[in-house]
Structure 1
């Protein structure tokens, strides 16, 4: 079916009167409307056409739309439906060739127009229905952030998170009901934010200003002090090399086998907002470290599995890369990982024991790849002088599945 039976019309705060002639035509031709209570209430009170209100979970409403395929359906949405909106959800299930999408200016576009910011030079994210800790990975000195808010309490949550992170001097600007007659802008700083009378419909702009000594780099190899751990931590020099070897690309999935405190999978996900990871760890106390570190460093969507490999790997989504940081000598681990890995995927393993090296050499004999010895020395005090103290050398093996 290629007939365009579904339309998605973005509406601003100025309501239906602000729509284009094309959008009005789509609304006039519709047999069924779908939207939230606020949008459906914009239609004339004497409009007798069928109306479907979004349900929770929203997937039930999407199923209902698909069941009515071929009928003339108009979805009413806020702003740009393809900017963290319902249009993104619907295009995952319905071919775009069957729909017409008419966007209104997005919240981000309106905010940039109010602030004089360049949209191409800001970081954008949504905290609507998402963990606030997602914000952690976007924070850096001088960053300009535009945040879609979940409601009236979100600005205070953002202010507290910035303050706790050491960015209390950051400027916060809350933009309410942009484009409507009740538009309002509220300004303040994170550390002194006390505004409680905030409209539910708001966006947050942040100019990030760091206190001294609190900067975390965005590149792999975060300081070891950024993590809570019990000693099972890939040290930051080795971590940087390992992430470079794993070579994350946006949208790819990593299996982090024997995840320890989760540093490899967390920094894999920090490399891009669309990178995904699954951390597999059997030690229950380390699972808490992984969860705490993921929230603190902006990757709350890290999937964590408590189990022992290779049993834990059954039925997981096929990975684009696998890192084995512990348990390489487990029987059958290599066979399960290699079979699951997508073509072109990378398998990287780090070991510090002779037995681990023997296992990696056997894997190398089977499928090839490269073996590398990583030796790091750090200068440490020896009396009143400095001397070099060697860390345990790490043997790393990488193979790419053809």
Structure 2
């Protein structure tokens, strides 16, 4: 039998029952701090480094003595982003006796005195930290299980890199010990400090109260709100019908594939309809717009659709305005000015997955396509034209044609995307 003990308070004494299990175990596995806190003798202790060798050692012991009792010491709830998954996959769930403690994220929210059923929980431990960074950029209330390279300083820097996003971070360190601390800081302050090694981070949008008004039925992110996606044009403030039509937006969103944990740029955003839709689907978004009145419309549209916390707005001209932005997973480029090729090229050089370009002018298609190809993307395209039903006098209906639009999209090959993702995360 493998007993997994989740310790709520690392460094405190084990219960009598847990102490007896540790004392009777042939092998005790855990992080060095867990083993030291439990007083495990060196001849029966296996300190975790890389997980695979530890699992191999447990397997070898069980082969020699099928009745040998193994104890695994873990933090909090080991079934919540923890070691239970690896143990069950290797040895089978029937071999495990799991005794969970309280998750450190639950513990941190409890210290604040607020519920966390409306929070998104994400682990950065052993994973690409960009996902955690982008979820903090996109969601109002997030609990992060941190890791080296994805701790409070890195999360703070990632949030500070998003213009206009307002967050406060709560860093809960050494929970349950005499050194326990709960510190509230701005992202910039978090980025500038050194932090204890054992911590979790809570990211809270300034625009949202810590206690939600309504009881939740589903924990965390529930997906796009009512109304679906590809919203009608009247759902957005715009100038002279200068926004991406619903049919084209639907196709563009399908190619962008925005989802929780990703970052999307909307370049030449206009009304910000694409950025807003991406945020409603769970992604973090940056809307880049050169006109001051357009910037205000984007902010108004984001607020109207409840995603102002997830849409950063940059007032500037692309491609120059793109230089300091965090690297995106996907980019939408609207419009088609004289600098189109440079904008598409800059976007294609930074996008980890895909770039979508919409064009009204046929003359601009070759240069946009060439910019995508020059970035080594796989390029496809289509012309879209919708004919909408429109009423006529006499209770009859006609087809009203919308202007045709060219849509190009470039997709990064999988091998190249893996190379791009190995860069320094922003």
Shorter-chain TM range is 0.5 to 0.7
Say whether residues 1:240 and 2:250 are aligned partners: yes
Aligned counterpart in structure 2 of residue 67 of structure 1, from 57, 60, 70: 60
CA contact (8 A) 1:167 1:190 kept: no
| Alpha-carbon spacing, 1:62–1:288, altered in 2? closer, same or farther (3 Å) | farther
Calculate the aligned-residue CA RMSD, in Å: 4.3
Aligned-partner Cα distance in 2 for 1:89–1:180:
28
Residue 112 (structure 1) aligns with = 109
Matches within 5 A, 1:2-401: 5-15=1-11, 17=13, 19-44=14-39, 47=41, 49-56=43-50, 58-69=51-62, 70=66, 71-139=68-136, 143-151=140-148, 154-193=151-190, 195-209=192-206, 219=224, 237-238=247-248, 240=250, 288-291=349-352, 352=383, 375=386, 389-392=403-406
Structure 1 runs of 4+ with >6 Å offset:
242-245, 247-250, 284-287
Aligned-partner Cα distance in 2 for 1:91–1:175:
30
| Alpha-carbon spacing, 1:201–1:87, altered in 2? closer, same or farther (3 Å) | same
TM-score by length of 2: 0.51
Gaps of 5+ in 2: 208-222, 232-243, 261-273, 284-329, 331-344, 356-377, 389-400, 409-426
| Alpha-carbon spacing, 1:249–1:140, altered in 2? closer, same or farther (3 Å) | closer
CA contact (8 A) 2:2 2:70 kept: yes
Describe the superposition over 1:211-262 as per-residue Cα deviations: whole angstroms up to 9, x where unpaired.
xxxxxxx75669xxxxxxxxxxx998446358779x9999xxxxxxxxxxxx
| Alpha-carbon spacing, 1:393–1:161, altered in 2? closer, same or farther (3 Å) | closer
Describe the superposition over 1:38-83 as per-residue Cα deviations: whole angstroms up to 9, x where unpaired.
12222336x3642222232x22221222232222111111111111
TM-score by length of 1: 0.54
User: How far did 1:119 drift?
Assistant: 2.1
User: How far did 1:10 drift?
Assistant: 1.4
What number of residue pairs does the alignment pair up? Answer: 262
- The alignment partner of 2:176 has SS state of coil
- The alignment partner of 1:42 has SS state of helix
User: How far did 1:13 drift?
Assistant: 3.2
User: How far did 1:111 drift?
Assistant: 0.8
Aligned-partner Cα distance in 2 for 1:114–1:200:
19
Aligned-partner Cα distance in 1 for 2:407–2:199:
52
